[in-house]
Each structure stands twice: as structure tokens, then as C-alpha cells.
Structure 1
């Protein structure tokens, strides 16, 4: 009896994935450059593992190597990847394709570049279901597609399937990819920043579903994430990576409550969930390690420059109606924004928060004059934008600059990074060639990117690095107003801290005004003076940041705050 029990325990303890001494190199100038230096870890059936670390630390590269999906010139130079007793290093293409999707699922980091813009979302989900042999017949495939999208938290899945990726918000596109990744109910799901584009309430729905898979089906999940709150709350095991090495691993809460490695301590000190709690309390704020965010300085700096009687952005009764196709020839009205009214004062940060699809980004596009309002008015520095000539709009855009949500879609793949950052200077004829180059170097320094990246192209950069390039481009003209649409959502906590610190410093020095669109409430607490909470296209609550966080009036706002991952977990630096 005891021998049988021991045998069962040994069987249960056998890892589903075992990686040993994995080394990966990329060819740079015809010479191999090693980016993973002997990585080893195990993933057990039903286990949830989180891999954290700054952008470029090797998180995504490690798991892409497991699936034989290394980009460009990347290749495995040494090591072993054991998948349920099968060696994946050197495996044939057809064998690997039979494992991908069915046995090992992937939710990729970037929703836009992984959804084909010419096909409807429904068609692409159905295609994945057919490829994995999950259903037969048109009706069965369609029903399964609707089911997986609903499981991934997409509302009105039946209607939404007819739409194309450009008609989805970033969060909705992310949910479609999650649905595809989960459709085959794989034994291991690799989720690369699966919730970076999701608001906290939808994030909770999706993560609850992943948890259900883990417990009911024995699915193992590997999160690649920069969200320490998510890692602490959802993962049993934490792997911390730095410069291609695993520097610390073990039980998640133990590592985040009592980090041992200096790098892990820096990560925890810079976590915005931790910072936001400190700003809201009277507790003494311990000194942050060098290079991390001085949350106290930001908290004091923001608000001190605000001049409440100097409105810069005035939005009144703003509305936007889209036509959605219905049937063969008909269409119906979709009210993306209804009656939005708010004012942003000079030197102030106004945050628009709410669920994905609530209308935040649509308002940002209308303020930037990228979309025309269906109703209402927008005044920038006292001038109504509706009647502006092309010349006036051109002048306006020099003082009003965007930082978009999707750095993959907003960076031209044919332009190197230096030319991308320099583009606004060219368009507005600012300076000569030498001064523009100097400004590019200055901006790269400000967003913590090495200057040698100026000659590289977007496909050679990680997601976080691309987001930093987008921020640098937005700052190039030294604008008066920045519209930041999820500008730090793809960044790891250390870089996020640096960017928020930079934005706060620029605001203090230059009196900049920010319209900050985000689903990350921890960041809102840190950076914003006032908050507009949006639900289904309407502003349901508007107050100072402290009032919204400490005394929310609407049930919807209370639900948003309650859904912040890891909010109740005590992180700390030992």
C-alpha cells in the first residue's frame, strides 16, 4: 500500500516541462551574442509559474525557445527542453507543430501583430479551432468559437465575431488571443503579458478562468509578466530573471515578501501597487534603492504646479457614434462615448479609467483630432477645435502630442529608431541635422535606452523597449500637452517607475499637462491629480484621486478598486 502511494507521489511530482542549462544566442553583425546563459527550471502539472524581470531580461526568449518560436537569427546553442519525456531541442518542424496549440498553448504579447487585419476576429478564432481539430462542421466550430471568446471575457461575443481587429480596443484584441490560446485546453499555457492590455475587472475574469483550467484540467500556466501584484496573487512559483540569468526562484509570496537578491529588492521597491499604497497613507516611506522610483517626491511634485483657474483642455457634452454592420445591408448605431464633460488645467494630470471598451481611447483620439466628434465640443487652450483650418491643426499638434497604446502598430517597421524619434522634428522643421541627432540622443537617455539602439529597427526591440521609443517620440517637440494612451502598460516595473518619474519631473519643470488614459489603477494613484471613471461610454464618477480611491461613490468604481491584483498582499524589502 505504501509502495503504491510512493509511486503515485513520484508520478505526480514529475515535471511536465523541464528546462536544463538552456542557452540562446542571436547573430549580431554576423557574430553570435548569447542572451540566455544556462537557464534551468521545472513546471509541474497544474502549477502556475510567473517569470518576472525587466524588459530584455530574457523572459519571452526563454518561453519562445521552448516552443521553437525564436525570432530572426535566434537559436538554441546548448541545453535541454524536456516536454513530458520528449526532447524538444532539435525536434522536427512537423512534430513541433503537432505539439503547439494542442499540447502547449500560447497567448502572445502583442495583440495587433498577431491578428490578421483583413479577416474578421470570428474567422480567426474559428480557424484556430479547426486547425486544432476541436470541432467539426460549420455550426459546431462557430458555437465553440463563441464559447471560447465568452470564457475569455468578451461581451456580446456572437456580434463581436463579425468585427475586424481595428474595430476592437486593445483589451478586446487581447481577449480574442486569450480565447484562441485556451481553445484547445492545452496541458501547458504560456501567457506572455496576457493581461497587460486588460482593465482590472476583465483581468480578474480572465485570470479566474485560467485558475479554473489549472484546478479542473491540470493545465500548467507560465505567466510572463511585469505585474508583481499579479505574480503574487496568481502564481505559486516565481522566477526572477535579469540579463539572461535566473537570479532568484521559489514560492511567490515568500520571494515578494522577503526578497533576497538585490535585483529582486529593486523590483519590489519600484512596484506601483506598493507605491500607490504608500502615497495614500501616512506611513513613513522607506528610502528606495538607487535607480528606483522616489514615490514621495512624485507625490509632492504633482499637484504643487497645478493652476486650477487655467483650463487647457475643456471637453463638453462629447459624443461619438459608430455604425456597426448588421445583417447583409443594415447597420446599427454604437455609442462609444456619450455626453462626456471634463476640464484639465495647466500643469495637471487627468486620468481616464474604466474597463476596456468604455470609451477612454475614443476620447483621446477626439482630443488629438484623429476622430471627429459626433456631438459636443473640445477646446484646447481656449480655442475650439471643430472650426480649425489645416494650418491651425498643424500648429496645434506641435503643442499636443500623443503616446499611443500599441507601440507595435505605431512604429514604422521600415524606419530605424533614430529616424522614428526624429520624425516629429522633421515634420515641424525644428533644428538642423546635428541638433536633431543630439535631441534623439538626449531622448534615448531620458527613457533609459542605449544610444546604439538609434540604428536598430522596431522588430529588434522588446515590447517594453518599443514602448519607451513611443514615449521618446512623444516628448521630441517638448509639447505643452501629452495624451498618453496606456503609455506605461507594457513596461516592467523598473522602467515604468523611470518613465513615471520622468513624466513627473518634466511636468514640474515645464508645466506640462497630461491626459492619462489607463486601466492600471495603481499607476493612477501615483501620477494623477484627478480621475474620471468611465463605464460604457459615460463618465460615471469624477473627483480628485484621493477622493476616488478613499471614498468611491459608485459601485462600479468600488469593483474596479477591489479587482486590483495583489492589492492586499504585503510586499516588502528585507
Structure 2
């Protein structure tokens, strides 16, 4: 490794707003990145992680601007550099994998076109044939299969994980010297995550590419980065070798982060476990685990019974033909009242398809779903409407599931309005009660989704799901996009609500460390089939299937002991 940093940031300050009303969000950040080095920046939502790296490449949103400090790239000052000069560096010398694959791909262009566009813009190939060949190569490197076919598809035809891989491909297309990866794997399941991260690691060593990970996953930081930078409220509070910091954190905030990280050592946050009162206090997974060991969860009668469930989608082929795609086949499981059942598996394993069928958003091709003993296929539209009061979803993507034109108050009150519950005053009172329940300040009621952080949006989605006081919540990747502290708070909240209200959860996730915290029982899915089904402890301590063993082995940082002493 060279003794000269390729990126040197000194006393960087960034503010948002006008000259009259300016809000400083970074208060003098300094760090170095050396050639071939992997650095992870960790911290909660709003701590300034993404803002720091976006300032480096002059991509600050809205009214954001650098007010002081220096950013040196290979000895060249980037603060105040002209737009054209910056554009030659961005993409070619410094690559970016943005955070949200949903909003960073253009929905009206095919994936192939967007990758080719990036290759042309960075001057990596000239002729049409050469550009196409490079695009195929880029997507294969990013871990996509059947690339020729995939290039003709549009973003909405890709799963979240596939979209994320396409963005990683675009970011790496120019073989940059530095790659900024902003939450590059938060939308990916653990096995795909491992493939992508292994690939990134291989490139780093082959090309000498330095990588800056912006992540909330401490396991990933410990396993993949040599150096760790911990940020809190726009300041760097601790930095140094990753494993050393995670095993012997010194700053109180780092200790809180480490204590909140779900890991394989975690145990179920029991429906009877005593949890820290305020979400601002340190959320210590180990302490909860000990409490839970003393208590037992009370489970009632079967509430959701799924029997031999199947879903087939016809996929169009050329010449007006179509072929059947089996998204789910022969799925059978039961969720009892007051229990949490987790469906886990890779992207495309059929988890969300089952959730949609349970929520009556998709009709099953075969098999039956009984809710409260009633066969949903035989229900009248009136009964189905009634059923929706007891069965509510919390979707994966709080960006997409909240209407940008509705303020938070109206978003939460919407289900009450649709089901004609109460008058305006009682709805408003219920809305404030729900904001309190999910630990959000009441003044957020007049704000809009784009003014909230990812964690706050996800809590709004939970509050909306609880508005009608349902018996069952179907949570589709409800915490996958959250940093560990917010994730811990939302999981804490869900466990507390389950205890208070006797809720039943069908929890869909690819994050097995979270499953350990929240679930009583686990169904492991692979290619549309349930391949293993047992209590959480059994699945984690004695997995039967090779596939389950691979899923567990792929969890980032699984073998690294985190310590808070």
C-alpha cells in the first residue's frame, strides 16, 4: 500500500440552506483513504455518512454546499473545482454505487441501455458492438446471470437485489481508483451480498481500487473493511482498525452501536422480555437475550393456515407464446396467535409472493389460505374488506409505499378514513396516539415523506399498519433499510406492541441476524419451496439443509465477537 493517500479530507464543513438561514451538518471532518484500502463509515441515519462522501464528489443535494475545508484527490484540490473537471473525475476515477436502487434507475429505459449509457459517458468504449460487449461483461461481473436476456428488461422487472447489482456494475464499469459504495448491499440477501462483496474484494486487490463503504451493518464493516470511521451528528467520534474498534469501542456512541447490532449470538426479543424504556437508551441485545431466557412466550390458536400454496405466473416469450414460472410451490405453514413466523430466503425465493397472497393482493394458483379458520378464497368482497381491518401490511420500501403528496398525519389516518372509523377529531387523536406509540414527535404530522429519514419513514409505515388495531401484521423486509440503532428501536417497538396488543407477525426478511431477534419459528425458502421449518433456535443451532447452512455462513461478521467492554 502506498504511503501517500489518494483521498485526503481536512476540516470539511457542509451546510444546507441559504446564507441567511444555514444549517451546518458536517462540523470539520478529517480522514484519509490510501490506494487499495477498504474503509467503512458507520453511524445512524442522519449522522452525515452519505453527505461526507457526496461532498467529496460534489453531488450534494438541494441547497447543500461545502462551507470550509479541503478535499484533495491525488494531490489535487476538489473544493471549488469546475463542473466539467469534476465530471471527468466522477465515474472514471471515483465511482459511486448510490443507496436506493428504486430511485436511481430510470424506469423508462431498459437496464442494458442504462449500463451502455454509463460506459459511453465515461469513454470506456466507442463502437456500438464494443459498448454492448463491455455492458455484458460489467453485468456479469456484478453477479447477474442470463445477462443477454436481462439487458432487455426494465427496472420494474428486476428484484431489489438485481437492481442493486446493476448499479454496482455501473459504478465499477470504469474500473475507478476509488469506489464509494453507499449502503451497497442493504437490499441484498446474505448469499447474494457475499457474492457481490467477494467480487468487490477481488477487484480491489486486482486493480488496487480503494473502497469506501457507507453502511449501517457492523458485521459487514468488521469483515470487509480494514479501517472504520464512526460518525455521530456530523462529527467523527472514533476511527481506527475495524476489529479493534468493534471489539474494544471507546466512545459511548460506538458502544451503543455495537450493543444494538443484531448478531448470531442474539436471542429472541421475547414477547415477555423487559426492554429498555426509552428508544434513545442503549438497546443491548445481550441483556434482552438474558431476560428472555427467563420467560416464555404465550402462543394461542392457529390464526394463519397456509396449505399447499402455489403461484404460477405466465411469462411471455417471443411469437406470442408464454411459459409458466412457478414463483411458489407447495408451501404449507401455520402462524399461531401472538407468534412471529419468519420467512427467510434469497431474493426471488417466493417470500414476498406468499406475503401478497396472504394479504389478498394476489390470488393463489393452487392451495388454500385460512385466516381465523375462514378460507379466504370463499370470502365475499364485503368479508374481504372486513378482513383487511384485522390484516395489515408494512411494506419493504418506505420510499414507495408512502404517498409523497400526503403529509404524515393524513397518511396514518388514511386506513381509518377508508374503513369509516370514527370522525375527524377521533381519527386525529388516534393518529397522535400512533405517533407516540412508534416514538415519533407529534410535529411530524404536518411534514411530508421526503422530509423524513429512512428510519422515520419506516416507523410511519408501522404506525399506518397499526391504525386499525389489526390482529396480524405482515412485515415485508420492514427493517432491512434501517441503520442498527433505528432497526433496534423498530424491533424493540414491534416486540413491545406484540406484548401489549397480542399481535401476530408474518415477518419476511433476508437478514438472518434480525430473524434471531424477532422470530419464534422460521421457514427457510429456496426457489419457491419451503425447504426447512423449525423453531428459531433449532434452525440456527442445528440447521438440517445445506442451503440453510450456506445462508447462516454468509452472514457478514458471523464469526467476529463484538464487545462493549
**Global fold match (TM > 0.5):** yes
Please state if 1:304 is matched with 2:297: yes
Q: Which moved more, 1:539-548 or 1:117-126?
A: 117-126
**1-structure distance, mates of 2:409, 2:85:** 41
Specify the SS of the correspondent of 2:455: helix
Specify the SS of the correspondent of 2:385: helix
Which residue pairs with 1:541 in the alignment? 532
Q: Which moved more, 1:358-367 or 1:133-142?
A: 133-142
Which residue pairs with 2:418 in the alignment? 427
Conserved? CA contact 2:259–2:282, under 8 Å: no
Which of 288, 291, 297 lines up with 1:295 in the alignment?
288
TM-superposition CA deviations, 1:515-544 (whole Å, max 9, x none): 100011011111111111111111111111
Conserved? CA contact 1:266–1:289, under 8 Å: no
Give the CA deviation at 1:298: 7.3
Tell me, which stretches of 5 or more residues in structure 2 are unaligned? none
| Number of corresponding residues | 558
TM-superposition CA deviations, 1:64-102 (whole Å, max 9, x none): 111222222222222211112222222222222222211
Q: Which moved more, 1:295-304 or 1:512-521?
A: 295-304
Give the CA deviation at 1:446: 3.3
**1:63-78 alignment, distance < 5 Å:** 63-78=53-68
Please state if 1:516 is matched with 2:501: no
**1-structure distance, mates of 2:190, 2:354:** 20
Which residue pairs with 1:455 in the alignment? 446
Give the CA deviation at 1:357: 0.9
**1-structure distance, mates of 2:370, 2:321:** 35
Give the CA deviation at 1:456: 2.4
Please state if 1:344 is matched with 2:332: no
Distance change (3 Å), C-alpha of 1:567 and 1:406: same
Give the CA deviation at 1:278: 9.3
Which of 195, 207, 228 lines up with 1:217 in the alignment?
207
Please state if 1:571 is matched with 2:558: no
**1-structure distance, mates of 2:291, 2:116:** 48
**1:492-507 alignment, distance < 5 Å:** 492-507=483-498
TM-superposition CA deviations, 1:252-291 (whole Å, max 9, x none): 00100000000000011111016526989xxxx9999933
**2-structure distance, mates of 1:137, 1:478:** 60
Which residue pairs with 1:108 in the alignment? 98
Q: Which moved more, 1:39-48 or 1:460-469?
A: 460-469
Provide the alpha-carbon RMSD of the alignment. 2.4
Which residue pairs with 1:143 in the alignment? 133
Please state if 1:152 is matched with 2:145: no
Specify the SS of the correspondent of 2:223: helix
TM-superposition CA deviations, 1:140-187 (whole Å, max 9, x none): 323322222222222322322222222222222211211111111111
Tell me, which stretches of 5 or more residues in structure 1 are unaligned? 1-8
Conserved? CA contact 1:305–1:511, under 8 Å: no
- TM (normalized to structure 2)? 0.93
Please state if 1:484 is matched with 2:501: no
Conserved? CA contact 1:57–1:241, under 8 Å: yes
Which residue pairs with 2:229 in the alignment? 239
- TM (normalized to structure 1)? 0.92
Distance change (3 Å), C-alpha of 1:393 and 1:302: farther
**1-structure distance, mates of 2:209, 2:27:** 28
Conserved? CA contact 1:319–1:374, under 8 Å: yes
